[in-house]
Amino acid sequence: QVQLVESGGGLVQAGGSLRLSCTASGRTFSAYGAGWFRQSPGKEREFVAAVNQNGGTTYYGSSMKGRFTISRDNAKNTVYLQMNSLKPEDTAVYYCAAQMGGWSLILGQYDYWGQGTQVTVSS
């Protein structure tokens, strides 16, 4: 069992930055790929970014490329999402997820989920 806890969300003006953190407890987190997803009211949960087990491979949703950076520190059992140049359309609840042995763009492939953290970008 892996427990994931997100933090770092909040209110920011357009053009600003936030860094989200996702800290894992339980089994060896380095065995899991990790991803960030987001969901706005009335919309489906959307892929944001993913990172493989050792942090050497990353992948981003098309609207996040160049603005968001995913990284991880396995010594701290933590995955980060650095978000720059934020736009009002980035407003959503952001969720961290972990997948045993890999990573995916597909939310159904993930084994564990955090409770989410709200990000609100004002115009």
Dump pLDDT digits (tens) for 39-88: 999 999 999 999 999 999 999 999 898 999 999 999 999 999 999 999 99
Q: Where are the alpha helices (DSSP H) in 19-89?
A: none
Residue 18 — very low, low, confident or very high, per pLDDT cuts 50/70/90? very high
Output phi, psi for 56, to 5 deg.
Answer: -80, -15
